[in-house]
């Protein structure tokens, strides 16, 4: 990693030759001064939460939702704190719940099946080979029809 340009705020140093963290988290290289200033502003206002704080201004969450909704030309947008929360909300919005089976590739991040389990549904792993995915879905559809 020597010789590579790193962020002004972040200069990674491996613990030993076998340890690659934080290199495994590439987004850390893109933390620039603008991001630091915005986070600092939220902390200075003592208002890091959506629904309460020490300011009468709209929260950053509200402003982000409004801007993102406008950009996507949608009436509503919702920001959440994690991908797990986003997946859980999406599953609930699709009325996925107890008794449902959710097909998912066998190669995943842990929040994917966790979100399914949290709704009460059952995650079913499928092969992640593209030409087999349709076959897996057809097999599952026959089971329920």
* pLDDT tens digit sequence for 92-120: 999 999 999 888 887 788 888 999 999 99
Short-list 31, 24, 27, CA closest to 1? 24
Secondary structure tally for the chain: helices H, strands E: 5, 2
What is the rounded distance in angstroms from the CA atom of residue 132 to the CA atom of residue 103? 13
- The pTM of this model reads 0.61
Q: Say what the pLDDT of residue 25 is.
A: 62
- Can you tell me which residue has the tokens 């630091």? 36
* SS3 label, residue 16: coil
Average pLDDT over every residue of 80-85 = 88
Question: Between 106 and 71, whose confidence is greater?
Answer: 71
Residues sharing a CB contact under 8 Å with residue 145, sequence separation 6 or more, in sequence order: none
- Delimit the domains of the chain by residue range: 32-71, 83-144
pLDDT of residue 6: 47
Q: Is the pLDDT of residue 129 over 70?
A: no
- Bridge partners (DSSP) listed for residue 145: none
pLDDT at 2: 47
Contact 102, 116 (CB under 8 A): yes
Q: Which pLDDT value is given to residue 44?
A: 87
């Amino acid at each position: 990693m020597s010789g590579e340009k790193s962020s002004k705020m972040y200069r990674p140093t491996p613990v030993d030759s076998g340890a690659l963290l934080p290199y495994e988290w590439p987004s850390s290289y893109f933390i620039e001064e603008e991001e630091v200033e915005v986070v600092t502003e939220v902390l200075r206002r003592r208002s890091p939460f959506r629904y309460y704080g020490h300011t009468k201004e709209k929260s950053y969450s509200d402003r982000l939702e409004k801007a993102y909704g406008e950009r996507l030309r949608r009436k509503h947008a919702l920001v959440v704190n994690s991908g797990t929360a986003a997946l859980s909300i999406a599953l609930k919005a699709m009325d996925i719940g107890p008794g449902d089976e959710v097909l998912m590739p066998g190669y995943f991040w842990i929040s994917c099946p966790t979100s399914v389990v949290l709704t009460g549904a059952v995650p079913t792993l499928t092969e992640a080979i593209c030409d087999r995915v349709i076959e897996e879905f057809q097999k599952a559809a026959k089971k329920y029809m």
